[in-house]
Amino acid sequence: MRVLVQRVTEARVDVAGHTVGATGPGLMLLVCAMQGDDAAVAARMAGRVARLRIFRDDQGRMNRSLLDTGGSALVVSQFTLAADTRSGNRPGFSAAAAPDEGRALYHAFAQALADLGVAVQTGRFGADMQVTLTNDGPVTIWMDSAERG
């Protein structure tokens, strides 16, 4: 599973001109289920994201997590995080999970995050979405479940 984590002051996702999800201070999370992922991977990644210490403490250091701050999260599916750009000019997406599996794992990730006590809103899987955000810092972190032992 791949997750692009962005610390935000605010973010929202619109579908057909209507806001379907939004967050105030917290995280904007773009999530891509990969082939071979399962619910355990989704839960593990949700835990890692929730405990990622990227929020400022009283000394201004990145030393607090989403759980520490009580911030919220906007979780948006983004299969293009599976892009393979090693050859040619058109990215390939064959490493992404199949749509039905990807949908289930996306929802499992969002639910696992909520189960940890994070207020979660989501985009709409498979929809043409417009995402607006104010990146705080900016802080953007790339996480990939395949890169952790």
| Confidence at residue 147, expressed as pLDDT on a 0 to 100 scale | 80
Residue 142 in any domain: the answer is no
Instruction: Return the pLDDT at 65.
Output: 98
Mean pLDDT per block of 10 residues along the chain (149 residues) reads 98 98 97 97 98 97 97 97 94 95 98 98 96 97 84
In a domain, 76, yes or no: yes
Q: Which two tokens stand for residue 40?
A: 């355990």
CATH code at position 67: 3.50.80.10
Residue 145, in any domain of the structure: no
Handedness of CA 76, 41, 35, 53 (dihedral sign): positive
pLDDT at residue 148, rounded to an integer: 62
- Residue 57 belongs to what domain range? 2-137
Residues annotated catalytic, as ranges: 78-80
